[in-house]
Amino acid sequence: MFGLIGKMRCVPGRRGDVIKAIGGGTEGMPGCLSYIVAEDPADGDAVWITEAWDSEASHKASLDLPQVKEAIAKARPLIAGFEMSVKTRPITGI
């Protein structure tokens, strides 16, 4: 399995719009086992994204899906930067 844990900083006040853009769920994303978009309750402009995939290749392939491209295009201008981005190797759970 392949995992990602990321913390993004949104343009101030635009967190809700970022979540709306990227929070479409796992439907139509082959190999996606879990995809959770969360607010940071202690940091009003921060968003956490945690993902689990059956393989790194499935994650990479997802970046070419039309709905993913569209989500990224919508969210990009509303994102100030990535504060953390870690690859993981999920062993148990989902």
Nearest to 3 by CA among 73, 70, 53, 69: 53
φ, ψ at 80 (rounded to 5°): -80, -30
Q: Which of residues 49-88 bind its own copies (CB under 8 A)?
A: 50, 52, 86-88
- For its own copies, the binding residue among 14, 54, 61, 90 (CB under 8 A) is 90
Q: Are 59 and 4 in contact (CB under 8 A)?
A: yes
Q: Does 45 bind its own copies (CB under 8 A)?
A: no
91 in contact with its own copies (CB under 8 A): yes
Rank residues 42 and 63 by Cβ distance to its own copies and give the closer one: 42
Does position 17 interact with its own copies (CB under 8 A)? The reply is no
Binding residues (CB under 8 A) for its own copies: these are: 1, 3, 5, 19, 23-26, 34-42, 48, 50, 52, 86-94
